[in-house]
Amino acid sequence: MTQSIERRYGRTPERRRRDRWLLGGGLLAVLVVVGAWVIWVGGANSQANLEATDTAFTIRDAHHVDISFTINAPVGQPVTCALQALNEDFAIVGWRVIEYPGSDTRVTKYTETIRTVQQSNTGLINTCWLT
């Protein structure tokens, strides 16, 4: 009697075995996805070795701003940076992309001039990337 009730409600040994296989397969799939994500985010991120820091800006006149900054990058690795000048409404009034060759030292200092279309009130680094 007990065996027929278990069979009626799907509690057979085959069903338990199948449920274990499905659970194991699901856990394996989750582990593979999480492992791939960890490798993609952590291990393959070469940009983690790059840091660009604004140090100063000088507004020369209504159409030029000087931006001083440091780049901390691996020795010998070329870097490209996008610099921008903003007005008092935070609109971009000047933009320049500059490529720097690999350096002999990890930290290098630069000062660049950006031409603007109107009076700016700041100049800064938008982004830098390894090239």
Distances (CA, A) of 120 to 81, 110, 111, 114, 127: 19, 20, 17, 10, 19
pLDDT by residue (tens digit) across 21-78? Answer: 999 999 999 999 998 888 877 655 556 689 999 999 999 999 999 999 999 999 999 9
82 and 111 share one domain: yes
* Residue ranges in the chain assigned as alpha helix (H): 2-8, 13-38
Tokens in use for 34? 């999480």
90 and 125 share one domain: yes
pLDDT computed for residue 47 by the predictor: 60
**CATH code, domain carrying 99:** 2.60.40
Which domain, by its residues, includes 23?
2-43
54 and 39 share one domain: no
Q: Is residue 94 packed enough to be buried (19+ CB in 10 Å), middle (13-18) or exposed (0-12)?
A: buried
Number of folded domains in the chain? 2
